[in-house]
Structure 1
Amino acid sequence: MTLDPPTLLALTVALAAAAALYLAIEWRSVRESSLLYWSAGFATITVGSTLALLRMNGFLLIGIWFANGMLVFAHFCFLLGVARFTEVRLSRGWLLVVLVWVSLLLLPEGPSWSKIMLVVNSLLVALVSLRASFLLRPHGVSLSVGAVQLRYVMLIHGLFYVIKALTVVIPGTLIDLAAFRGEIIQISLIEGAMAIMLIALSMTGTERYRREERIALLAARDPLTALFNRRALEVRAPVLLRATSHERPGAVLLIDIDNFKLVNDLYGHTAGDRLLVALSETIRGLLPANALAARLGGDEFVILLGNARRDEVEVLGTILRERFQDIASQSFVTPMAVTLSIGANLFDQPPASLTALIEQSDAALYQSKRSGRDSMRLVDLTLTGD
């Protein structure tokens, strides 16, 4: 098969249509707006490449100006998709891209017409592509493999179009857009077909990684409170516990709601769920750095602290109890106060296991319950403890 311009355009149409369809199918299952923008971009390339074939029949306005304008618009869709993926808001100044391209209608026909069209088209595509690549740069965290690939594919794609624009200044360069004549046009068509495959694969990998990451995150979270569940806590706690030492003691607070059953009995389980969410939000708001919080089940929660001092643990427990009691008393009137009982341990040696640590705190919690509830029992297991 000869790689002449019509054949390359037909190949581009097939690849772009397949990419648009595949990303649209992905969007139907994932519902990520970035996929929809990227699918629209490839669909636009499909239409634009089809219209580009019309220039050989003398339809220059549609086959050149309109077709190349759709190429610019397609890359703008790619940029919008990247902006959605990275959660960056684009300025309205990017609308000037459209105005610049529309202004080419005023360009008089002449010997340099094809070169000017090629320069403007190339620079606009390069500008949009490089901006998309810039948005995908790491922001203090590692990008997924797909996002890294997309970043560099867009970077190389943008630089190619910069070089494409610069070739116009080379003496003796032949550029005839109407007849698809000129080496740079042939090379551009080949690069375009390759770029479609690489960009589509990178986009798919980017969103697939994010979807898997979100699934893993959901599996680690309690569905009601969005705190970690027990399984996730068991995975993350060892790192924090291993760092425990005499200089950096750790602490655990086991939290239980007093008279929680009254809320469920008097106001229904939906009200009880609201109270659990309120407690989780209070915990999240008070949680210091280097700490973990989880819902163990029912109305039982746990907080793990690293590098904690006794006075800090006592202050945290007091504030948590006071804020929760204010919320519960204002929301629900019950025969007995809905409060918190807390069993806490302060330790300077890594425990045998998270389970053993929770069992120690459970004993302290039991003592707190027996002493009248609405209190915190702190057991200091450090070398300097009482």
Structure 2
Amino acid sequence: MVLDPFTLLVITAAMAAASALYLAAEWGIVRERSLLLWSAGFALVTVGSSLALLRSSGYMLFGIWFPNGLLIVAHWLFLAGVAGFTRVRLPHAWWLLAVVWLAMLLLPDGPWWSKAMMCVQSLLIALIAVRAGLLLRPQDGALSVGAAQLRFVLLAHGLFYLAKAVSTMAPDAIVNLASFRGAVIQISLVEGVMAIMLLAMSMTGTERHRREERIAQIAARDPLTALDNRRALYLRAPQLLEQASPASPGALLLIDIDHFKQVNDLHGHDAGDRLLLALSDLIRAALPQGALAARLGGDEFVILLRNVSGAAAQALGQGLREAFAQQARAMFATPEPVSLSIGATLFDQPDMELSHWLKRADEALYASKRKGRDRMELVPVANGRAD
């Protein structure tokens, strides 16, 4: 097959249509707005490439300039999709790009007009593509493979159009828009086919990585309180435990709701869920920077604090206990007061596992229960032994 401009346009339209349909199908599954914007962009490329087939018959408006406008809009949709993916709000000034292109259409025709129009169009696409690539900045030192590929393709695509803008304004440039002759046009079509293929693959990979991250986050969260679950606690705790030392100990607080069953029996399980949510909100509000909180199951919660004294851990626990008791009284009436029992331990040995400190805090929790509930028992440690 000879890759003449006509054939390249047919291939471009077919690939863009396939990309649009595939991204639309992905959007139908995950309902991610970026996928819909990218799909719409490829759909416009499909329409524009199909209309561009008319240019060989001399239809300047519908064969050249209208498809060029659709190409600019398609790239703007790619930019909007990247902005949505990166949670960045685009300034309204980006709408001025359409004004610039429309202003060029209103200028009087002349021997220079086709070159100037192609230069402006190329500059607009270059600006949009480069901006979209720059939005995909590495966060926390790394990008996902799909996002890194998308960033590279967008930047390379933008730089190509920048070079195209420069080349079209050269005195000896070969640009014949009414026919399919011209090296600039043919090179641009080849680059367009490659860009469509790479963009579609990178966009899909980028969104799939985001989806996998979201699934991992859901798997690590307690579905009711949105705190970490037991699995996430065991995965994240070792990093915090490793920071402990005799000079900078940490603390583990094991929390249990007293008389929680009465709330469920008297007011229903929905009331129990509301009480658990209230406690999780209090825990989240009291949590200092760098600490961990998780729901172990039922009405049992755990807090891990780093670089904290026994007095500071005691103050946090007591403040949490008092705030919860007050809120529980306001929410539900029960024969026995609904309160918190807290067992806590300091830890200063980075080589000890989480289960060791949980066991020690559990012993302190049962001591709190035995002494009448609604209290906090703290076990300090020195040289690995309880004081």
Contact kept in structure 2, 1:351 and 1:357, CA below 8 Å = no
Matches within 5 A, 1:154-173: 154-173=154-173
Q: Which amino acid aligns with 1:129?
A: A
Q: Provide the rounded CA distance (Å) in 1 between the counterparts of 2:155 and 2:319.
A: 51
Matched, 1:125 2:125: yes
TM normalised by structure 1 equals 0.97
Matches within 5 A, 1:331-342: 331-342=331-342
- Corresponding residue of 1:96: 96
Q: Which amino acid aligns with 1:345?
A: T
Write out per-residue CA displacement over residues 87-109 of structure 1, whole angstroms, 9 at most, x where no aligned residue. Answer: 11111111111111222221222
Judge which range, 36-45 or 289-298, deviates more: 289-298
Q: Provide the rounded CA distance (Å) in 1 between the counterparts of 2:143 and 2:20.
A: 24
Matched, 1:236 2:232: no
Query: The residue matched to 1:296 in structure 2 has which SS?
Result: strand
Contact kept in structure 2, 1:119 and 1:168, CA below 8 Å = yes
Q: Which amino acid aligns with 1:356?
A: H
Judge which range, 321-330 or 126-135, deviates more: 321-330
Q: Which amino acid aligns with 2:49?
A: S
Q: Could you tell me how far 1:138 is from its partner in structure 2? A: 2.1
Query: The residue matched to 1:345 in structure 2 has which SS?
Result: strand
Query: The residue matched to 2:292 in structure 1 has which SS?
Result: strand
Write out per-residue CA displacement over residues 320-341 of structure 1, whole angstroms, 9 at most, x where no aligned residue. Answer: 1122112211111222211110
Matched, 1:323 2:323: yes
Write out per-residue CA displacement over residues 114-151 of structure 1, whole angstroms, 9 at most, x where no aligned residue. Answer: 20111111011011111111111124452211111111
What value does the CA root-mean-square deviation take over the aligned residues? 1.4
Query: The residue matched to 1:251 in structure 2 has which SS?
Result: strand
Write out per-residue CA displacement over residues 5-36 of structure 1, whole angstroms, 9 at most, x where no aligned residue. Answer: 10000010011011101101111111100000
- The 4+ residue runs of structure 1 with deviation greater than 3 A are 383-386
Contact kept in structure 2, 1:146 and 1:209, CA below 8 Å = yes
Q: Provide the rounded CA distance (Å) in 2 between the counterparts of 1:196 and 1:310.
A: 60
Contact kept in structure 2, 1:250 and 1:306, CA below 8 Å = yes
- Corresponding residue of 1:300: 300
- Corresponding residue of 2:261: 261
Q: Provide the rounded CA distance (Å) in 1 between the counterparts of 2:183 and 2:86.
A: 37
Q: Provide the rounded CA distance (Å) in 2 between the counterparts of 1:11 and 1:357.
A: 64
Matched, 1:106 2:106: yes
Q: Provide the rounded CA distance (Å) in 2 between the counterparts of 1:183 and 1:380.
A: 79
Query: The residue matched to 1:288 in structure 2 has which SS?
Result: coil
Q: Which amino acid aligns with 1:287?
A: L
Q: Provide the rounded CA distance (Å) in 2 between the counterparts of 1:137 and 1:357.
A: 40
Judge which range, 334-343 or 133-142, deviates more: 133-142
Contact kept in structure 2, 1:249 and 1:306, CA below 8 Å = yes
Q: Provide the rounded CA distance (Å) in 2 between the counterparts of 1:153 and 1:147.
A: 10
Judge which range, 106-115 or 142-151, deviates more: 106-115
- Corresponding residue of 1:276: 276
Matches within 5 A, 1:1-386: 1-350=1-350, 352-383=352-383, 386=387
Q: Provide the rounded CA distance (Å) in 2 between the counterparts of 1:53 and 1:210.
A: 37
Q: Provide the rounded CA distance (Å) in 2 between the counterparts of 1:33 and 1:172.
A: 44
Q: Provide the rounded CA distance (Å) in 2 between the counterparts of 1:23 and 1:382.
A: 59
Contact kept in structure 1, 2:254 and 2:342, CA below 8 Å = yes
Q: Which amino acid aligns with 1:25?
A: A
Gaps of 5+ in 2: none
Q: Provide the rounded CA distance (Å) in 2 between the counterparts of 1:352 and 1:65.
A: 70
Q: Could you tell me how far 1:247 is from its partner in structure 2? A: 1.3
Q: Provide the rounded CA distance (Å) in 1 between the counterparts of 2:351 and 2:250.
A: 10
Q: Could you tell me how far 1:382 is from its partner in structure 2? A: 2.4
Q: Provide the rounded CA distance (Å) in 1 between the counterparts of 2:352 and 2:121.
A: 66
Judge which range, 44-53 or 173-182, deviates more: 173-182
Q: Could you tell me how far 1:351 is from its partner in structure 2? A: 6.1
Q: Could you tell me how far 1:181 is from its partner in structure 2? A: 2.3
Contact kept in structure 2, 1:249 and 1:382, CA below 8 Å = no
Contact kept in structure 1, 2:347 and 2:357, CA below 8 Å = no
Q: Provide the rounded CA distance (Å) in 2 between the counterparts of 1:111 and 1:179.
A: 16
Aligned length: 386
Contact kept in structure 2, 1:255 and 1:300, CA below 8 Å = yes
TM normalised by structure 2 equals 0.97
Q: Provide the rounded CA distance (Å) in 1 between the counterparts of 2:182 and 2:122.
A: 15
Gaps of 5+ in 1: none
